[in-house]
Amino acid sequence: MSTHTPSQLRTNADLRQLQRTMAAALMKPLTRQDGMPASTQVDFITPNDRMSSFERLEIYARQYWFRLLDCLYDDYPALRVFLGERRFHQLCRDYLAQHPSTSWTLRNLGSALPEFITDLKARDVARVEWAQTLAFDEALKKPLRIDDLLGADPSTLHLGLQPCVVLIQIDHAVDHFITAMKKTDADVRGSASQAMSEAPTRTKVAQAPKLKREHVHLAVHRHDNQLYFKRLVPESFAMLAALRDGLTLADAIELALAQASPNADWPAQIRDWFTEFSQLGWFTQFPRKS
Amino acid sequence: MPANTHNGHTDLGIGLGLRVPHYRHILEKKPVCDWFEIISENFMVDGGRPLEVLDSILEQYRVVQHGVSMYFGNADPLNRDHLKKLKRLVKRTNTPWLSDHLCWGSVDGRCSHDLLPMPYTMSVAKHTAEKIRQARDFLEVPICVENVSSYAEFTQNEMTEWEFLNEVVEHADCGILLDVNNIYVSSQNHGFDPFEYLRAVPHHRVGQIHIAGHTRHDHVILDTHDHPVPDPVWDLYAEAIQNSGSTATLLEWDDKIPSFEDVHAEALKANRYLHEHTHA
């Protein structure tokens, strides 16, 4: 269905209407042959002696879809391997059709993909890959050392968790899956300037490693600008999550140990956690409310 | 003009785009290069390797910021979140000027992540100029707007692209990042004389020049930045610097990126043109 596009642009409202019409044309899903749908409104584009209005606009439509698909290919390589080329490509197309980018940065394009996925295994893979995206370039604030905590009152002490440490619970051993893939994640994403995008390369994807069912408490974190996975015991995971969410140290420990075995030497365990997490630089000042 | 208000009164020579495949070479070899252009959005993050690399580069080189998502031509207002992050980066890099494109890219909050062509009308020119002024006032740094390459034109156009560019920069009182490859690409796609475009540009407003390669298809030339600079673009470059003087020039090479030495050698060809076609 065509919408009215103003024949002259006298006001900002006219400009907005024209831009809405063009954006709708570009964001309409491509056909199976990667073409612009025949029903697309093109009457606001002038033809030239070599190309019709449709063909000229189609360049931009293909560019839009190829660029965004390419971004998801970059951000979810493990999911691509897990699903296989055909299913992954279709998933990305369906996702983009329902979740067009609403951010100025492509970094956030795939933020809603994990929740978009219904298959629980695939969703876990996507959740871990999104956590990697966050851990890659979230802030690393000045870390607190264990000496900084000496003498503090646990009942009033708030500790912050580094933004580049992402805690995630999953029901599959995605960390092992990704490690087996030997994923590299050190590159900065970023298409530059106005360079055209080509369709994502549909090369044969690697053989998928086995994804085992296993409940995992995982920290995805950055250290010396490399991404790492660290498996946590449920109690340390719960303590870190509680600290991140603003509980005092005493309350976080109480919550973490609420259902823990009474037979373990928890004071010694907690000392070990704090030594290790402090060495990793995971603790920081709790962010003050602005 | 070599140094003017639009490029912060600097007198930079030949620069290169800072690209990931060259990070290691640059950091380890520290090659001689007048300056690097960064894509601002790649570094508008809170932490991690991008900022660490940038800080290392800043210790050795002058860096100029080039953006891809300010979208001066959007009907929507400027994005405050984007501007705040951009200003934070401006303070980090101390960029002498900042550039982005004369284009639109999003509407109603939906982003195309593309540099879409403008409809060339007076009301749109004034609207766009006002947003450039707003951005400059907020960022407190000179702004140069870049002419984009395009593959389509609007039925609503009332003027040529160069007339539109002139209206925008005069109303905004801003600089121009003159992309001579984009002029060539658009001239072939739309059937105009690229030298007529160049002659019409207000030369005193040119703060920077881009050169790049492109890809020719049967019916259209695409702006691919994946080839050496072809002769017709060098010819336009010669004309541009004859008009504007020895202007800061950057080679864009963004896809199928060869070694740093190869890209640098291609960029340094511009020096010959600067010597032959200017009196700098």
CA-nearest residue to A132 within chain B is: B48
* Confidence at residue A202, expressed as pLDDT on a 0 to 100 scale: 54
| Contact assignment for A44 to B182 by CB distance below 8 Å | no
CA-nearest residue to B152 within chain A is: A56
Question: Which among A57, A187, A225 has CB closest to B20?
Answer: A187
d(CA B220, CA B126): 30
Query: CA dist A261 to A107, A232, A257, B46, B157, Å?
Result: 42, 16, 8, 40, 75
CA distance B279 to chain A (A): 30
Question: Which among A48, A51, A164 has CB closest to B47?
Answer: A164
| Contact assignment for B50 to A188 by CB distance below 8 Å | yes
The tens digit of pLDDT for each residue in A97-153 reads 999 999 999 999 999 999 999 999 999 999 999 999 999 999 999 999 888 888 889
* Confidence at residue A63, expressed as pLDDT on a 0 to 100 scale: 97
- Quickly state the pLDDT bin for A206 (edges 50, 70, 90): low
Stated as kind and residue range, the H or E segment containing B277 is helix B260-277
d(CA A159, CA A248): 7
| Contact assignment for A139 to B47 by CB distance below 8 Å | yes
Chain B CB contacts of A102 below 8 Å: 109-111
Chain A CB contacts of B156 below 8 Å: 5-9, 18, 44
d(CA A79, CA A178): 9
Please, which residues 20-59 of chain B have a Cβ atom closer than 8 Å to chain A? 20, 39, 41-42, 44-50, 52-53
B114 CB within 8 Å of a chain A CB: yes
Q: What is the ipTM of this complex?
A: 0.95
CA-nearest residue to B83 within chain A is: A104
Helix (H, G, I), strand (E, B) or coil at B94: coil
* Confidence at residue A205, expressed as pLDDT on a 0 to 100 scale: 60
> Is the pTM of the predicted complex or chain greater than 0.90?
yes
- Helices B161-172 and B122-139, axial angle in degrees (round to 10): 40
Q: Read off φ and ψ for residue A129, nearest 5 degrees.
A: -70, -35
pLDDT tens-place values along chain B, 280 residues long = 578 889 888 889 999 999 999 999 999 999 999 999 999 999 999 999 999 999 999 999 999 999 999 999 999 999 999 999 999 999 999 999 999 999 999 999 999 999 999 999 999 999 999 999 999 999 999 999 999 999 999 999 999 999 999 999 999 999 999 999 999 999 999 999 999 999 999 999 999 999 999 999 999 999 988 889 999 999 999 999 999 999 999 999 988 999 999 999 998 898 889 888 886 4
B177 CB within 8 Å of a chain A CB: no
* Cα–Cα nearest to B252, from A193, A67, A190: A193
Question: Which among A6, A50, A137 has CB closest to B50?
Answer: A137
